[in-house]
Structure 1
């Protein structure tokens, strides 16, 4: 049998290796909790019955409003056991924004700081025997505000069944990967990069989950638990590389890593090539809507610097102009993807579906180009593009040039209303040393020799800290609004 319901798959894992370590949770203070496969299976069954006692039925939505935690993992597994749909969400949103999201999710149960203890107590009163096998009609939802700021839930409409392909590592495309893996999870589980490892857990991989990303705890976990792989954003990788003792840390257990979430600055990528090797770094491009994937390994990147890869796992890529016609090789247009998984999403909240061509290619609004070998290069999101003086500037390109400045720890580039330029390129920078921040003139002069004149920031703002989420994302639209539009 190759299509195994999630609940049955967890039961089988517990039967095959009851005392084997399945999950290690590391709290912010470094305290650790370890659970075996048997303990996870028992918790999923008792928590599943507790959810039913709270009125949760097959196909219902469960809102998960907690940081990474054992309780969060237990509830996700319990939801799959009873055929419900887990939807993690940010726990630190203002009340008004949280309520707006909950109205869209319309959950049968909300797991948060006020209900988790009660659910745990209820679970303790129920049997831990395996629940009847059912299949969730959708794997999970991921909350997004997109580029409009309006809440929407991206529902992964794949049924809750495990197949061997579900747990196939990215790196297996290039070379054999030892399994089971020991996967470090630094991202919050409300983000795709944080949630997907739970599906690898169902393939028998061990998860080491951080409550919150912390570079020191991350490196400690790699050494202590002999981590073999992890997925991280460029911001996380930058903070790790900036640790003063990173070169002395034992990273020998790492077989490969996956970078996603944003375009990787070349200098940072070369730093990780030095820490590991080009053959151990995989870069990927995709989106929560499951439209398709592009990927490449570090040694390929060296031959195609700046690329995010070729079509991966049967993904086809087209670059189209505003009229829907293919553009010449090397010319920027809108990125369209077509893959076997295309269409396995649905929006909750009234957001319109993404633009899809008659032959099934779909775009999330990103701009980019293909080279003559079919490698994809991402310029930026169309909504983030700055039109200044009639020319198009992509913030990601400017940020990539600025992040190499020795006095800059983090940077976000936005477009602000300007009477002369329409919108001016504005750089918001976080200094490496707050006692000696870089000057605006120094930042502008630094980047002037790296970019065309029209791309150079017209203004620079130094802030104590860039307002990033736990997933290291930033809301450009909110930053623009905060500065008057």
Structure 2
């Protein structure tokens, strides 16, 4: 095969920023061609220049092509944070295939269900989890020696990517991003300039690290990703790499803030211009700690989702004037609070938070596999409850009425409840989140026992077989047993009322 000639000017402006419409895979190659020795990626002990990262990614893309991956296929990616995760993402794009990152923490049954939904041409992992797919590539055992690292021809994936998560029914859900894998306004951010240094602490299969690890590489930025979050190590990495932008979830912010005061005071955080946080509500005392530590104008909180149906943003200094708010929407979005019957509610009234996004046509709207959307005419919703004040600032009343956010991870109770209810002695189960100083919420299971079944002394032992059917991070931290009915005559479990009663009881 003839060596691919790369015209950098086709993909980058003279100042090195991406051109709209440039294929994502070619942007990595373009930065390698014009500033190849610059550091691109740091994860753990590994540090790769743009030239090294692009060449390794091109080799991996060719290895995927040898396994039959082609334009329009899907590549599932499942492994802990490591350089091969990002290489696999870009390798899929270089072939015009859709990357689909999934959590490596899922149990085999959950992974198998996702495989059935995704139908990947190839699964890329590191051997830490096993797949049913026969066409799986283990990067830990893979040798790319003898495979060319030269740039590949331009290719575009359309749709651009697939993000997997748990659905509101407790079953896996896939969110398909219809926007092709080319640079454009959907990928750019005013708060993440080109050619900076970013630091990400979260798992790469989430949307936030996508925005601060995958996308910055296309802008020529240096990306530092933690293998796993540890608060003292985070401080060390900030001092070593001097990031411009960092992303955290509130649990991480809390763990850093609660380190010994001498340690946090001594740490030099002066390089941080943007601390971006989302995924859960941040406790006010923790938010104020960070405002005092790095400055209110540097802290940005965002409310939104993978589906991009709408968003709000609030800066720290705004938050001080409107404590508890998640901000206002941009001019392209309008917030509408609706009641259960779909009628619009006035300021101050709690209802479902809906967005009306202007200029969103059928070709740019997400779609689900494994779940139904909440689209109603011009309105769409994440399913959260909240209200707006007289000034248009949004406040969250409940993060999706049934969902529990634990350490920034969305967990839906239905799957956990279904597993516990498989026990012969159980009639019904309701899983709720109770406040936790470290995690934000902890999972608590309220179990309705069958008549004649005595409450066990140890819920973990009682449900040992059932708990093995769900991932460890989804397992309840505590159990409560009752013979009172949990469901009403309509078959509904009022989880909000159950949670309120237990918080009120201490």
Q: TM-score, normalised by structure 1?
A: 0.77
| Partners of 2:60 and 2:91 within 8 A in 1 | yes
Per-residue deviation, 1:152: 1.4
Q: SS of 2:256's equivalent?
A: helix
Distance in 2 between residues matched to 1:192 and 1:341, nearest whole Å: 20
Report whether the alignment pairs 1:306 with 2:324.
yes
Per-residue deviation, 1:409: 7.1
Distance in 2 between residues matched to 1:225 and 1:280, nearest whole Å: 18
| Partners of 1:186 and 1:212 within 8 A in 2 | yes
Q: What are the superposed Cα offsets for residues 302-348 of structure 1, whole Å, 9 maximum, x if unpaired?
A: 11110001003622111011111111110100000122568532212
Alignment size in residue pairs: 402
Distance in 2 between residues matched to 1:169 and 1:75, nearest whole Å: 27
Distance in 2 between residues matched to 1:93 and 1:39, nearest whole Å: 31
Report whether the alignment pairs 1:201 with 2:201.
no
Distance in 1 between residues matched to 2:232 and 2:159, nearest whole Å: 36
| Partners of 1:7 and 1:77 within 8 A in 2 | yes
Q: What are the superposed Cα offsets for residues 240-289 of structure 1, whole Å, 9 maximum, x if unpaired?
A: 11121112111111111111001111111001111111111001100111
Distance in 2 between residues matched to 1:347 and 1:135, nearest whole Å: 21
Distance in 1 between residues matched to 2:189 and 2:166, nearest whole Å: 30
Distance in 1 between residues matched to 2:389 and 2:160, nearest whole Å: 35
Distance in 1 between residues matched to 2:178 and 2:98, nearest whole Å: 10
| Partners of 2:443 and 2:476 within 8 A in 1 | no
Alignment partner, residue 365 of structure 2: 344
Q: SS of 1:356's equivalent?
A: coil
Alignment partner, residue 290 of structure 1: 308
Report whether the alignment pairs 1:116 with 2:133.
no
Per-residue deviation, 1:411: 4.1
| Partners of 1:166 and 1:200 within 8 A in 2 | no
Alignment partner, residue 250 of structure 1: 268
Matches within 5 A, 1:52-451: 52-114=65-127, 115-117=137-139, 120-121=142-143, 123-163=144-184, 166-170=187-191, 179-197=194-212, 198-244=214-260, 245-312=263-330, 314-339=332-357, 340=359, 344-349=365-370, 351-352=371-372, 354-358=373-377, 360-380=378-398, 381-384=400-403, 399=435, 403=437, 411-412=441-442, 416=446
Alignment partner, residue 430 of structure 1: none
Distance in 1 between residues matched to 2:227 and 2:276, nearest whole Å: 20
Report whether the alignment pairs 1:5 with 2:57.
no
Q: What are the superposed Cα offsets for residues 184-226 of structure 1, whole Å, 9 maximum, x if unpaired?
A: 1111011111222201221122100111111121111100011
Question: CA 1:164–1:410 in structure 2 vs 1: closer, same or farther (change >3 Å)?
Answer: closer
Report whether the alignment pairs 1:50 with 2:63.
yes
Distance in 2 between residues matched to 1:85 and 1:70, nearest whole Å: 19
> Any gaps of 5 or more consecutive residues in structure 1?
27-31, 172-176, 387-394, 420-467
Distance in 1 between residues matched to 2:368 and 2:62, nearest whole Å: 29
Q: SS of 1:161's equivalent?
A: coil
Q: SS of 2:199's equivalent?
A: strand
Per-residue deviation, 1:119: 7.2
Question: CA 1:413–1:345 in structure 2 vs 1: closer, same or farther (change >3 Å)?
Answer: same
Per-residue deviation, 1:414: 5.4
Q: SS of 2:223's equivalent?
A: strand
Question: CA 1:96–1:279 in structure 2 vs 1: closer, same or farther (change >3 Å)?
Answer: same
Distance in 1 between residues matched to 2:471 and 2:330, nearest whole Å: 29
Question: CA 1:313–1:168 in structure 2 vs 1: closer, same or farther (change >3 Å)?
Answer: farther
Distance in 2 between residues matched to 1:69 and 1:238, nearest whole Å: 25
Distance in 2 between residues matched to 1:313 and 1:222, nearest whole Å: 34
| Partners of 1:47 and 1:120 within 8 A in 2 | no
Alignment partner, residue 476 of structure 2: 479
Distance in 2 between residues matched to 1:364 and 1:155, nearest whole Å: 15
| Partners of 1:139 and 1:158 within 8 A in 2 | yes
> Any gaps of 5 or more consecutive residues in structure 2?
1-18, 128-136, 405-412, 414-431, 450-469, 487-506
Q: What are the superposed Cα offsets for residues 146-176 of structure 1, whole Å, 9 maximum, x if unpaired?
A: 22210111121210001366232337xxxxx
Distance in 1 between residues matched to 2:119 and 2:156, nearest whole Å: 21
Q: SS of 1:317's equivalent?
A: strand
Alignment partner, residue 25 of structure 1: 43
Per-residue deviation, 1:117: 3.5
Per-residue deviation, 1:24: 0.8
